[in-house]
């Protein structure tokens, strides 16, 4: 296990967990051709994965964050170096298998992005347990923890349920953003805040989630069953529905000041804004409004590159908020 720079003496306001991080490579071609060679330039190389992205954006919003993540094989040290170079406080838990590398191919002529993401390594039981131990030590005295991203092979479906228990026992609150069987098991355990997009919402409901009414039905179910204290369902260009015990609130996405290029980083950007503002003492609806603005700003970038924080803050005032 290795650590990055010395943490802030005040401690992090947010600790994130990334079980399946990536090294994100973004290549740019003028036009993708089916024959011959496609000459590309390297647009960016960075550390990625849900929780790592969230930690990065929390810091960019002015908060304090520490990212816990796995790192293994040949790419593991490179992932750690990238985080160190970026100045992200992090704790790496070593694993045997290789950390995955993901590719974003940006075609300049069409302004389209193609995201190619492999499944990642196999994480053994004892490696997963070490991650839980590290998380448990760090979240003590920290108000919020974020578990974000996919669950790698080798870990049981109830792994994020174990994460939820560790966070609760440490006196912290868990914000969850994941998918698949691991999601259902974690919701059965119960979390503080759950954020899902349309695809994840439809996997839970078994039917299309096309508007605010559909999102309300899902959110009400999550609240009444104790799956989450706060439920946020995002609806793409429509915006998001934020639901608490006090009621449901529609947050309409602001008009974009430019051409949308990719939605790959929208979810992580939203969760980072939510976590930052909740840790600063904002109410859930106000925090969610900045989250909707951050998601919109993220769509203006062609890959997993960081959005413009100033643009996100300027869009915040254009997020229309109404009771549902």
Locus of tokens 């409901």: 205
302 CB-near residues (< 8 Å, 6+ apart)? 26, 43, 104, 106, 111, 113, 261, 262
Q: Using N-to-C axis directions, what is the helix angle for 198-205 and 212-224, rounded to 10°?
A: 60
How many Å apart are CA 158 and CA 181, to the nearest integer? Answer: 8
Q: Is 282 a catalytic residue?
A: no
How many Å apart are CA 310 and CA 234, to the nearest integer? Answer: 22
CB 70 within 8 A of CB 95: yes
How many Å apart are CA 151 and CA 1, to the nearest integer? Answer: 20
Strands of the sheet containing 144-148, edge to edge, are 2-3, 90-95, 65-72, 14-18, 144-148, 173-177, 191-196, 228-234, 239-244, 247-252, 320-323
> Which among 235, 304, 215, 256 has a CA at the least distance from the CA of 27?
304
CB 54 within 8 A of CB 105: no
Q: Taking every pair of C-alpha atoms in the chain, what is the biggest distance, in angstroms?
A: 60
Catalytic residue among 268, 283, 308, 324: 268
Structure tokens at 51: 């929780």
Q: Compute how many other C-beta atoms are within 10 angstroms of the C-beta atom of residue 88.
A: 21
Catalytic residue list: 268
């Amino acid at each position: 296990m290795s650590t990055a720079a010395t943490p802030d003496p005040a401690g992090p306001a947010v600790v994130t967990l990334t079980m399946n991080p990536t090294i994100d490579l973004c290549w740019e071609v003028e036009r993708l051709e089916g024959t011959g060679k496609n000459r590309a330039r390297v647009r960016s190389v960075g550390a990625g994965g849900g929780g790592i992205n969230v930690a990065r954006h929390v810091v960019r919003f002015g908060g304090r964050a520490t990212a816990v993540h796995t790192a293994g094989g040949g790419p593991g040290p490179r992932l750690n170096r990238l985080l160190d170079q970026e100045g992200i406080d992090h704790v790496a838990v070593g694993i045997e298998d290789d950390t995955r590398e993901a590719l974003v191919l940006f075609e300049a002529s069409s302004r389209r992005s193609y995201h190619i993401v492999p499944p990642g390594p196999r994480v053994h039981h004892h490696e997963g347990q070490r991650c839980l131990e590290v998380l448990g030590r760090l979240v003590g005295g920290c108000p919020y923890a974020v578990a974000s991203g996919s669950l790698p092979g080798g870990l049981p479906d109830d792994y994020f349920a174990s994460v939820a228990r560790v966070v609760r026992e440490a006196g912290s609150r868990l914000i969850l953003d994941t998918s698949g069987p691991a999601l259902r098991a974690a919701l059965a355990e119960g979390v503080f805040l759950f954020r899902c997009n349309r695809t994840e919402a439809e996997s839970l409901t078994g039917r299309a989630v096309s508007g605010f009414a559909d999102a309300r039905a899902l959110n009400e179910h999550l609240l009444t069953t104790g799956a989450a204290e706060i439920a946020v369902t995002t609806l793409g260009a429509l915006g998001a529905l934020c639901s608490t015990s006090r009621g449901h609130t529609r947050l309409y996405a602001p008009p974009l000041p430019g051409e949308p290029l990719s939605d790959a980083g929208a979810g992580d950007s939203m969760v980072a804004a939510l976590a930052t503002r909740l840790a600063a003492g904002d109410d859930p609806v106000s925090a969610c409004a900045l989250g909707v603005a951050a998601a919109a700003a993220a769509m203006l970038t062609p890959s997993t590159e960081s959005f413009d924080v100033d643009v996100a803050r300027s869009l915040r005032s254009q997020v229309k908020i109404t009771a549902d």
